Amino acid sequence: MIIVKTKEEIELMRQSALVVSKTLGMLATEVKEGVTTMQLDKLAEDFIRAQGALPGFLGLYDCPSTLLCSVNEAVVHGLPTDKPLQNGDIVSIDCGALMNGFYGDHAYTFEIGDVNPETKKLIEVTKESLYVGIRAFKAGNRVGDVGFAIQQHCEAQGYGVVRELVGHGLGRKMHEDPEMPNYGRRGRGKKFVEGMVVAIEPMINGGTHRVKQLKDGWTIVTQDGKPSVHFEHDIALVDGKPEILSTFAYVHKALGITSNEEDEFRKEALVL
Ligand code: MG
Ligand code: MG
* Tens digit of each residue's pLDDT (9 = 90 or more) over 171-226: 999 999 999 999 999 999 999 999 999 999 999 999 999 999 999 999 999 999 99
What's the CA-to-centroid distance between 95 and ligand 1, angstroms?
6
Eight-class DSSP state of 84: B
**In angstroms, rounded to a whole number, what is the distance separating the alpha carbons of residues 131 and 150?**
9
What's the CA-to-centroid distance between 138 and ligand 1, angstroms?
21
What's the CA-to-centroid distance between 245 and ligand 1, angstroms?
14
Instruction: Kindly give the pairing relationship between strand 197-200 and strand 167-169.
Output: antiparallel
Largest CA distance in the chain: 48
Q: Which band of pLDDT confidence, cut at 50, 70 and 90, is reported for residue 151?
A: very high
Q: Which helix (H) or strand (E) holds 252?
A: helix 249-255
**pLDDT of 139 over the 90 cut:** yes
Residues that place a CB less than 5 A from ion ligand 1: 94, 105, 107, 232
pLDDT at 268: 84
Average pLDDT over residues 87-91: 98
pLDDT tens by residue, 250-269: 999 999 999 999 999 998 88
Ligand nearest to the CA of 200: 2
Amino acid at 164: E
pLDDT at 269: 83
CB 193 within 8 A of CB 237: yes
Taking the alpha carbons of 87, 29, 31, 226 in that order, is the dihedral positive or negative? negative
The domains of the chain are located at 7-265
* Continuous H helices in 68-142: 117-135
Q: Dihedral of the CA atoms 49, 52, 56, 58 (nearest 10)? A: 30
Q: Which residues, listed in sequence order, are joined to residue 70 by a DSSP beta bridge?
A: 92
Q: Which band of pLDDT confidence, cut at 50, 70 and 90, is reported for residue 248?
A: very high
Average pLDDT over residues 77-94: 98
Query: For 7-265, which CATH superfamily applies?
Result: Creatinase/methionine aminopeptidase superfamily (3.90.230.10)
Count Cα atoms within 13 angstroms, Cβ side, for 110: 30
Average pLDDT over residues 67-83: 98
* Continuous H helices in 30-164: 37-50, 117-135, 143-155
In the chain, pLDDT over 90 holds for what percent of residues? 98
Ligand nearest to the CA of 20: 1
What's the CA-to-centroid distance between 92 and ligand 1, angstroms?
10
